């Protein structure tokens, strides 16, 4: 079986491996960086011979001419599917403009540092598979049904509780179900569409949102979009990371405001002896502030706020924002963190956060599942942007700080507890 000669994009380490894949993520034994295939070695060929090879067979003249318009280059070698250049001068600072001209020719490029050098890796662009729109439509309908059912159950419980407390209400569980479903679907859909818009702005191929139905208290496990081409720059990584949480939060806050306005405040002294016992939703700085501003009170020792299902939908949106902004693995916050951290540091951060989340399962058992998810995703690493040489602009640094602030004010240490 042919072997492959690989070179690390970070430190330049070379090694022969039992693989011929174009890219091995996080495989460098020296620094943990990505290893790119330099040459496919036949059984009779030695790595020393391949390392000295400088032949340019396989590079199309028009592609190389295009590259030299953007960069002053020295060809190191062209082996297998990957051409490696040493970059001595950068003429075009907009890496997305470079990719926009390369991709129609069937190529992608990566700009990486190797010690004190800048290297450009040229390799064939992958053609993404077509999506089946029926899958997305089916999942949307199923999630709509499951959230309507969850809203109906929450509505029945809400109306029954108010009746038991002697609070008159004419609200219908059916209307509550519709309001809850529209609220949850709107928040989740806006979150994912935020990602979709950011991806389109940076010419990153992605799917439309896939909603995930699930027969739980909320009727869903959220929604996702699949990114089908590499993230071009660290600027784009920040945009893709923050766009979803910010867009979703902009819908979650007015939904929460409406829901809190519909939620009655009940003095503890007015509750029957057994009342006030049950499952409660945890809180965060955003929810506390909204309760204080709207109701002048918050759930605590003296008051119980009986959350309307629409308020629960808003709480879900705020909680989802927090979860997605955890700066680990390939979560939204993980992409933002990776834009500022080298791959090895990001792996350590993911590992540390995974273990911290596991410790938090002492307060809520569900954190154990999240810890496993973070550690599992973290094991695959985060390859980062194709261009890790160009600096992150000041505007995206400010945006990353805003995302960090949103993360702090939406942190919900104990999402659910019993009273």
What is the per-residue pLDDT across 358-385, written as a single tens digit (0 to 9) for each?
Answer: 999 999 999 999 999 999 989 888 989 9
The mean predicted confidence, pLDDT, of the chain is 88
Q: What percent of the chain has pLDDT over 90?
A: 63
Nearest alpha carbon to residue 102 among 116, 120, 89: 120
Instruction: Dump the DSSP string for 62-124.
Output: HHHHHHHHHEEEEEEEEETTEEEEEEEEES---HHHHHHHHGGGTEEEEEEEETTEEEEEEEE
Residue 46 confidence (pLDDT)? 46
Given this model, what pLDDT does residue 57 score? 41
Question: Can you give the pLDDT at residue 412?
Answer: 95
Contacts of residue 353, defined as CB under 8 A and 6 or more positions apart, other chains included, come to 326, 327, 328, 374
Torsion of CA 71, 75, 80, 82, to 10 degrees: -20
Among 84-98, 133-147, 255-269, the minimum mean pLDDT is found in 255-269
Looking at the DSSP bridge assignments, the partners of residue 86 are: 74, 119
pLDDT value at 42 more than 80? no
Q: Which pLDDT score is estimated for 416?
A: 85
pLDDT of the residue at 53:
37
Please check the confidence at residue 2 and state whether its pLDDT lies above 80.
Answer: no
DSSP 187: H
Tally of helices (H runs) and strands (E runs) in the chain:
12, 14
Contacts of 49 (CB under 8 A, 6+ apart): none
pLDDT in tens, 288-319: 999 999 988 666 657 788 899 999 999 999 99
| Cα atoms in the Cβ-side hemisphere of radius 13 Å centred on 41 | 21
Asked if the model's pLDDT at residue 89 lies above 80, the reply is: yes
- Whether 173 has a pLDDT exceeding 80, the answer reads yes
Average pLDDT, integer, range 347-357: 96
Structure confidence at residue 19 (pLDDT)? 83
Give the model's pLDDT for residue 137.
94
- Is the predicted pLDDT of residue 271 greater than 50, yes or no? yes
Whether the per-residue pLDDT at 188 is higher than 80: the answer is yes
**Selected residue with higher pLDDT from 417 and 238:** 238
Residue 370: name the closest of 418, 319, 408 by CA: 319
Asked if residue 320 lies in contact with residue 195, where contact means CB atoms within 8 angstroms, the answer is no
Residue 300: predicted pLDDT: 61
Cα 33 to Cα 10, 14, 36, 39, 116: the distances in Å are 6, 12, 10, 18, 16
Output DSSP code: residue 250. H
pLDDT at 182 over 70: yes
Inter-CA distances, 353 with 208, 359, 375, Å? 30, 10, 9
The pLDDT score that the predictor gives to residue 206 is 92
| High-pLDDT (> 70) share of the chain, % | 91
Rounded Cα distance, 269 and 390, in Å: 62
């Amino acid at each position: 079986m042919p072997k492959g000669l690989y070179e690390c994009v970070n430190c330049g380490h070379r090694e022969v491996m039992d693989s011929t894949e174009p890219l091995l993520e996080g495989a460098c034994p020296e620094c943990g960086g990505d290893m790119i295939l330099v040459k496919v070695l036949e059984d009779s060929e030695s790595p020393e011979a391949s390392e000295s090879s400088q032949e340019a067979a396989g590079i199309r003249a028009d592609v190389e001419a295009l590259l030299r318009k953007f960069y002053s280059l020295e060809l190191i070698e062209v082996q297998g599917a990957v051409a490696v250049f040493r970059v001595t001068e950068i003429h075009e600072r907009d890496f997305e403009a470079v990719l926009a001209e390369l991709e129609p020719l069937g190529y992608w490029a990566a700009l990486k540092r190797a010690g004190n050098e800048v290297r450009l890796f040229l390799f064939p662009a992958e053609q993404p598979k077509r999506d089946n729109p029926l899958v997305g439509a089916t999942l949307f309908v199923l999630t709509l049904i499951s959230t309507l059912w969850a809203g109906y159950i929450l509505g029945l419980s809400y109306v029954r509780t108010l009746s038991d407390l002697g609070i008159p209400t004419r609200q219908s569980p059916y209307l509550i179900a519709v309001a809850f479903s529209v609220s949850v679907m709107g928040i989740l859909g806006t979150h994912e569409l935020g990602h979709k818009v950011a991806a389109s702005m940076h010419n990153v191929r992605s799917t439309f949102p896939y909603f995930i139905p699930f027969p739980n208290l909320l009727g869903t496990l959220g929604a996702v979009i699949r990114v089908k081409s590499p993230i071009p720059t660290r600027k784009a990584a920040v945009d893709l990371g923050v766009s979803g949480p910010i867009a979703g939060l902009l819908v979650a806050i007015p939904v929460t405001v409406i829901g809190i306005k519909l939620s009655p405040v009940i003095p503890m002294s007015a509750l029957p002896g057994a009342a006030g016992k049950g499952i409660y939703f945890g809180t965060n700085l955003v929810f506390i502030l909204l309760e204080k501003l709207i109701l002048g009170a918050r759930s605590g020792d003296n008051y119980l706020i009986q959350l309307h299902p629409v308020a629960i939908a808003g709480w879900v949106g705020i909680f989802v924002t927090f979860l997605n902004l955890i700066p680990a693995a390939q979560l939204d916050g993980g992409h933002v963190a990776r834009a500022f951290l080298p791959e090895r540091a990001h792996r350590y951060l993911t590992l540390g956060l995974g273990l911290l989340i596991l410790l938090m399962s002492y307060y809520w058992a569900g954190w154990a599942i999240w810890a496993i998810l973070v550690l599992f995703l973290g094991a695959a690493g985060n390859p980062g942007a194709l261009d890790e040489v160009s600096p992150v602009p000041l505007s995206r640094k400010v945006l990353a700080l805003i995302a960090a602030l949103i993360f702090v004010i939406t942190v919900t240490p104990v999402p659910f507890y019993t009273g």
